[in-house]
Chains A and B, each alone.
Chain A
Amino acid sequence: SDVNLALGLLSLSLSLSLSLSHTHTHTHSFTMSGSYTPAPGGPFSALTPSMWPQDILAKYHQKDQNLDSEPQYDEFGFRIDSEDGLEACDWLRGDGAPQREDPQQRLRWQAHLEFTHNHTVGDLTWDLISPALPRSDRLRSLVLAGIPHSMRPQLWMRLSGALQKKRTSDISYREIIKNSSNDDTTAAKQIEKDLLRTMPTNACFSTLTSVGVPRLRRVLRGLAWLYPDIGYCQGTGMVVSCLLLFLEEEDALWMMCALIEDLLPPSYFSSTLLGVQTDQRVLRQLIIQYLPRLDRLLQEHDIELSLITLHWFLTSFASVVDIRVLLRIWDLLFYEGSIVLFQVTLGMLKIK
Chain B
Amino acid sequence: MEDYDYLFKIVLIGNAGVGKTCLVRRFTQGLFPPGQGATIGVDFMIKTVEIKGVKVKLQIWDTAGQERFRSITQSYYRSANALILTYDITCEDSFRCLPEWLREIEQYANNQVVTILVGNKIDLAEKREVHRQRAEEFAEAQSMLYLETSAKESDNVEKLFLDLACVLIREAKQNTLDNNDSAPMPGEGKNINYLSCCNIN
User: Which residues of A line the B interface, CB within 8 A?
Assistant: 190, 193-194, 196-198, 200-201, 206, 233-235, 237-238, 270-273, 277, 306-307, 310-311, 314-315, 319
Contact = CB atoms under 8 A, between A and B. Distances in A.
Given A200-B34, A233-B68, A271-B67, A194 B17 contact: yes
A196 B37 CA distance: 9
Given A200-B35, A314-B40, 20 more contacts: A190-B66, A193-B17, A194-B16, A197-B35, A197-B36, A197-B38, A198-B37, A200-B34, A233-B66, A233-B68, A234-B38, A234-B64, A271-B68, A272-B71, A273-B69, A306-B41, A307-B41, A307-B42, A310-B72, A314-B41
Interface residues of B, number: 19
Interface in B63-79: 64, 66-69, 71-72
A234 B66 contact: yes
B108 to A, nearest CB: 16
A307 B35 contact: no
Contacts of B92: none
B43 interface: yes
Interface string B15-35: 011000000000000000011
B16 A193 contact: yes
B44 interface: yes
Contacts, number: 57
Interface of B: 16-17, 34-38, 40-44, 64, 66-69, 71-72
Nearest to B21: A197
Contacts of A197: 35-38
Contacts of B66: 190, 233-234
B120 to A, nearest CB: 14
Nearest to B34: A200
Contact of A310 (B17, B36, B37, B41): B41
A313 to B, nearest CB: 10
A234 B44 contact: no
A268 to B, nearest CB: 11
Nearest to B33: A200
Given A234-B40, A307-B41, A277 B72 contact: yes
Contacts of B42: 307
Closest 6 CB pairs of A and B: A200-B35, A310-B41, A234-B38, A311-B40, A193-B17, A197-B35
Nearest to B42: A307
A233 B67 CA distance: 10
Contacts of B36: 197
A314 B72 CA distance: 13
A201 B34 CA distance: 10
B94 to A, nearest CB: 11
A198 B40 CA distance: 12
A277 B68 CA distance: 12
